[in-house]
Amino acid sequence: VDGDGDLDAMLANGSSQPNTVWTNDGNGNFTDSGQALGNSYSFSVALGDVDGDGDLDAMVANYSGQANTVWINLDSGYGTFTDSGQALGNGDSTSVAFGDVDGDGDLDAMVANFNEPNTVWINDGNGTFTDSGQALGNSRSVSVAFGDVDGDGDLDAMVANYGQPNTVWINQADRDGDGVPDTLDGCPDDPNKTQPGNCGCGTAETTVFGDLDCDGDYDADDIRLGMVEYGIVEAGACPADINGDGVVDAQDLTEVLAAWQEPCGE
pLDDT of residue 91: 84
pLDDT of residue 139: 83
Calpha distance 111→127 (Å, rounded) = 16
Average of pLDDT values for 43-51?
A: 97
> Pick the residue with more confidence: 251 or 13?
13
Side by side, the strands of the sheet bearing 93-99 are 93-99, 108-113, 119-123, 129-131
CA 126 to chain centre: 20
Calpha distance 87→207 (Å, rounded) = 26
- State the pTM of this model: 0.69
Model confidence at 15, pLDDT cuts 50, 70, 90, reads confident
% of the chain beyond a pLDDT of 90: 53
Give all domains of the chain, ordered by start, each with its CATH number.
9-169 (2.130.10.130)
What is the four-CA torsion angle of 112, 115, 116, 118, rounded to 10 degrees? Answer: 20
pLDDT of residue 78: 84
pLDDT(233) > 70: no
pLDDT of residue 172: 82
pLDDT of residue 226: 31
pLDDT(143) > 90: yes
Helix (H) / strand (E) element for 208: namely strand 204-210
Among 242, 237, 233, CA closest to 221? 237
Calpha distance 83→58 (Å, rounded) = 10
pLDDT of residue 263: 45
Mean pLDDT of the chain: 77
pLDDT of residue 16: 77
pLDDT of residue 260: 46
Average of pLDDT values for 105-119?
A: 95
- Beta strands in 51-136, from DSSP E residues, in sequence order: 57-62, 69-73, 81-83, 93-99, 108-113, 119-123, 129-131
pLDDT digits (tens, 9 = 90+) for 159-210: 999 998 899 999 986 544 566 544 555 555 555 444 444 444 444 444 444 4
Among 92, 83, 39, CA closest to 61? 92
pLDDT of residue 252: 53
